[in-house]
Amino acid sequence: MNVYFLVEGQSTEADVYPIWLSYLIPELSRVEFFDEIETNNYYLFSSYGIPHIENDIVNAIKDINSVGKYKYLVICLDADAATVSQRETKIQNILISESLELSASLKIIVQNRCIETWFLGNRKIYTRNPQNNPNFIKYSSYYNVCRNDPELMEKPSTHEGSIADFHVAYLRSMFLERGNMRYSKNNSKEIQKKSYLEELQNRVIDCPEHLKSFLNFIDICAEIREELLSK
């Protein structure tokens, strides 16, 4: 079985997804070029965000159809200001408008609102009585991501950026409050640890109504692995 992953970001997603996949589907090995696949391989292409990923979806389908050896196309992108269903519909409409037939099964993972929203779900990183970082004190007073679903968090009226921008700022402040931890788009080392992923998995087990888009990612990986192991 072979899987083609198309992810939205050039930095965080490109760094985190391969590591997480090594934990969740260890039987799959990565290839550098899409046409190098043989058996139990995956190829990952990182786009330059929206709207660039829309053109890359078309190219990915053409790649997959030209090779004829892929079982799944998995598209991972942010919801940002849209809803999950709006992003999913937009992808389906691209296939219709381009008259594209895909020779693989399509799976869509919409990171609601962004991939950093998922990262906010680690309850062990969240400091319950913050003392050090003024921004984290302010953010946690606005919305407690330890107790409440991060995917439902909006943004304060005083925040000039997007909701996704606010989630990224919240995450950075949450890490800084810990003293010895840092996060940026180009530094996701803490996120890549297996223990971090496991804490997010524990969150959706304990709180099944939280982080539904992350749970969709986990379920898709489990489905792929189950089919792979059944061969």
124-176: pLDDT as tens digits: 999 999 998 999 999 999 999 999 999 999 999 999 999 999 999 999 999 99
Cβ contacts of 10 within 8 Å, gap of 6 or more:
46, 47, 48, 49
User: Is residue 71 very low, low, confident or very high in pLDDT (cuts 50, 70, 90)?
Assistant: very high
User: Is residue 51 very low, low, confident or very high in pLDDT (cuts 50, 70, 90)?
Assistant: confident
pLDDT score for 200: 98
Cβ contacts of 212 within 8 Å, gap of 6 or more:
112, 151
CATH of domain 2-113+212-230: 3.40.50
pLDDT score for 7: 97
Give the tens place of pLDDT for each residue, 109-126. 999 999 999 999 999 999
- Enumerate the domain spans of the chain: 2-113+212-230, 117-206
Is residue 214 within 8 A of residue 204, CB to CB? The reply is yes
Q: Is pLDDT above 80 for 64?
A: yes
